[in-house]
Amino acid sequence: MVDDDRRPQRIAMGPLRPGDRVGRYIVRSKLGRGGMGVVYGAYDPLLGRRVALKLVRHRDTPENVEAHVDERLRREAQALARLAHPNVVSLYDVGTCDRGDYLALELVPGIDLDEWLRKGTHSWKEIVEVFLAAGRGLAAAHTAGLIHRDFKPANVIVGPHGHVTVVDFGLARSTELDTTVSNGPEGAQPQIHSDALLNTRLTGTNIIVGTRGYMAPEQLLGLSVGPRADQFSFCVALFEALYGRRPYPGKNAVETATSFANGIFEEPEDRRGVSGRLHEALRRGLSVEPDDRFPSMDALLAALRRGLPASRRRWLLAAALAATASISAGAGAWGHALLSDSAEPACDHAGSHAHETDPRR
C-alpha cells in the first residue's frame, strides 16, 4: 500500500479479462467475487508461476469505506508476511494499481472444507485428521502473535492429495493490539456474563467481525478476543463436521447469544462412533467462558489426538514432525513465500478463498 498523497487515482473499470495486467501479473481467469473485491487466477512472468490476485474494488466506494477496505487488505498482508507454515497460505507480493490495491497469493489447488465434507463419505477419524492439520496452521498463527478471527470451513482448502491450507487472514489481528476487558490478572480472558449476552445490541452498527455461526461468545459481544476465540470457532466447525449441526442453536445473533447465556448446548443424539475422549476435548474447547477452554491451540490439538486410535496417533505424530522439519530445512523455500500468506480475495466470504478447483486449469 502507498501513502494517501502518493496513491494513484482509482479508475472505474469493468471486470478484468484474460490478458489484462495488474502490475507485472497477467490475468488468466476470475476465481471468485465478494463484497469488497475479486480474486483472479494470474501468471507471474518474472518468476514463472501462477498466483491468485486478490484485488480490492474502489469503484463508487465512499471514502470512509475505502479507508476501511485498505486497512483490511493491509492487515491481511502484514499478517501473512509474519507466517511461514505448510498449513497456511502464502503471500508473494502486495501492490497498488489504477484499479485498486492487490495481494499476490499462493494459488492453492483444491476445494474448501465445506465442499470436501459434502463430497463422498469420510470417517470421523479422517475428518479429525483434516481438522488437526488446519489446527496446526492456526497454532502457527498464534505463535506468530496473530488471531485469525474468522476460522470456518470455507476458509480451509483441502488439496487433491489431502494437503490442508488455512486461508483468508483479512480479519486477523495481532495479539499485541488486544487488551483485556476484565480487571483480572494480566493475560486473563474477558469474562462472559449472561446479562451481557442478553442485553448487548447486536445490530449492524456494532463493530463485530467474523461469521456469526462460528464466533466465540466474546467475539459476538464485540469484546476483546484472544487465541481462545479461534479455538472456539475451530471446535464449532469440527463439531458441525462430525455431528451435522452446530452445538449452540440460533438462527440469528440474538438467538445464538441467548443460547450462550443460558448454557443451551445441544449434545448430538448420535455420536457416530466418535470416541468419548475426543468428544470431551471438543466440549471443553466449546466452553462459553474463554478461561474454561484449553490454554492454547496446541493443547487442544494434543487432546484431540489422544481421542484417536493409537495407530492414527502415531501416524499424525510422524506427519507433524515431518511438517516441522520442512519448516526448518525448507526455510529458504518458505522464506520466498514469506512475503507470503493469504487466502481469499478482498472479496468477502462467497468465493473468497484464493484457490482453484481444478489445478490443471
Active site residues: 150
- CA dihedral of residues 326, 329, 330, 332 (deg, nearest 10): 160
What stretch of H or E contains 180?
none
| Cα 214 from chain centre | 11
Pairing of strands 37-44, 173-174: unpaired
What stretch of H or E contains 15?
none
What stretch of H or E contains 276?
helix 276-285
CB distance 331 to 341 below 8 Å: no
Angle formed at CA 140 by CA 135 and CA 160, multiple of 5 degrees? 55
Question: Across-strand partners of 103?
Answer: 54, 94
Question: Across-strand partners of 52?
Answer: 41, 105
Write the DSSP symbol of residue 144.
T
Grid coordinates 462460528 are at which residue? 214
Write the DSSP symbol of residue 16.
-
The string of DSSP codes covering 56-83 is E--TT--HHHHHHHHHHHHHHHHHHHT-
CA distances from 11 to 4, 44, 65, 100, 163 (A): 16, 23, 17, 8, 39
Q: Tell which residue, 173, 172, 39, 57, has the closest CA to residue 106.
A: 39
CB distance 277 to 284 below 8 Å: no
Amino acid at 84: A
From CA 260, how far away is CA 36, in angstroms rounded? 31
From CA 43, how far away is CA 207, in angstroms rounded? 37
Q: Tell which residue, 91, 58, 59, has the closest CA to residue 170.
A: 91
